Amino acid sequence: MKDKVSYSNVELLEIIKTSADENTISKAKQLLNSRNLSKEELQRVELNYQKYKNYKLKRQNDSLTYHEWLTFFLFSFFSSKKTLWENENFSESEIERFKKYGYQKKLKQAQQTKLFGLIFWALMILLFYFIATYKE
C-alpha cells in the first residue's frame, strides 16, 4: 500500500471490497477507521464509490473516440522503441493503458485501427511509387 495520506476514501473502500490480500484489507480498514468519518460521510463515500464503479464500467464499454481512432490510424507505423527524435509513442502507451485498466473494447478497436492504418500507408507508398515510375 502507498503511504496513508495518498489514498482517498473511495480508493480505500475499493481496496476493502476488491483486494484478495487479507493484510492489505486490514490495513485499509484501519486507515479508513482512523479518519473518524461519521455515518453520513461513510454513506457519501459509499455513494461516491458506486459512482466510481459505474464510471469505470462505462469506460470499459466505451468505443474509441474520434481523436483516438484518428491517432491510431494516422500514426500506426510508429514503433514503441524510443529513438533520438521521439521520446514517447502515444499509440503504444495508450494500448498499454487499455490493457492495464481492462478496456478490452478500446484495445481491440485500437489494434484493428492500427492494422488499417498500416495497410493505408502501405497502399499510399505503393501509389506514390507507381505514380513516380509512370511519369518517367
Query: pLDDT tens digits for 47-86?
Result: 999 999 999 888 888 999 999 899 889 887 665 555 545 5
Q: How much is the pTM? A: 0.63
Low-confidence stretches of the chain (pLDDT beneath 70): 1-5, 77-90, 136
Kindly state the cell numbers that stand for 48: 461516491
Predicted local confidence at residue 101, as pLDDT: 84
Which sequence spans correspond to the domains of the chain? 4-61, 66-135
Predicted local confidence at residue 1, as pLDDT: 58
Q: Determine how many CB atoms are found less than 10 A away from the CB of residue 48.
A: 14
Predicted local confidence at residue 66, as pLDDT: 93
User: What does the alpha-carbon distance between residue 31 and residue 27 come to, in Å, rounded to a whole number?
Assistant: 6
Spatial CB neighbours of 7, under 8 Å, sequence gap ≥ 6:
1, 15, 28, 31
